[in-house]
Amino acid sequence: MAVSLGAALWIGKPWAANWPPEFRRVTIPGTHISVEMPDTFGPPESKTSTDGVTVHSYGDLLRDRLGVEAVVAPLEEAIDEDDIPEAVERLKKEFAGKSLQQMPLIGEVSDGRLGGQPAMRAEYGAKHAHATGWASVFGNHELMIRVYTLDGLPDSWHRVGDRIANSVRLEP
């Protein structure tokens, strides 16, 4: 109880320590893709590599026990909806056997859903941390949503990653 109260005071909402988060829809910067994020998350920190891939980081893993990255890679042209399954198979092969942030892959890269469309899904784990990643194609972007959690995540937050992944949508 003292730990929960301390964590709640740290984030400034003592009444919300173990409650499920409220969500708000945000647009991933530089895209027409939106996603629901916990309302405790502020604006993302964004970093773009020389190859044009941008990582938008939401949340504070130490404060929230959960953090989210939206990794956006631009494509030369939009992929037709009928070609998305083929793109997902390519992504599955690309991520097979690879670690994420020094966390080894748990099991195999599998089929999943991201915003209701075909995606690859992968689970990663280390001693006190876990990550789940989903990747697919939205318009002219490859998108990977990564949800990182630390031990001690309140039970009410355990399905947050799935909610985030399910909420992804391409806006007109």
> In this structure, is residue 92 part of a structural domain?
yes
What's the domain count of the chain? 1
93 lies in a domain?
Answer: yes
**pLDDT computed for residue 15 by the predictor:** 41
What pLDDT sits at residue 5?
39
Q: What are phi and psi of 164, to 5 degrees?
A: -60, -50
Q: Which two tokens stand for residue 16?
A: 């919300």
Residue 85 resides in a domain: yes
> Looking at residue 119, what is its pLDDT?
97
pLDDT score for 2: 43
Q: Is 129 exposed, middle or buried (0-12, 13-18, 19+ CB in 10 A)?
A: middle
Q: Pull the structure tokens for residue 73.
A: 């890679």
* Strand, helix or coil for residue 131: strand
Of 9, 4, 43, 11, nearest to 156 (Cα)? 4
CATH number of the CATH domain containing 65: 3.40.1000.10
In whole angstroms, give the CA distance from residue 49 to residue 73: 10
Residue 18 has what pLDDT?
Answer: 63
| Full-model pTM | 0.86
Q: Is residue 158 part of a domain?
A: yes
Residues of the chain with confidence (pLDDT) below 50: 1-16
10 falls within a domain = no
Describe the strand order of the beta sheet including 23-27 as a list of residue ranges. Answer: 23-27, 33-38, 169-170
In a domain, 13, yes or no: no
Which residue range forms the structural domain that includes residue 152?
A: 18-170
Residue 73 lies in a domain: yes
The answer to whether position 104 is within a domain reads yes
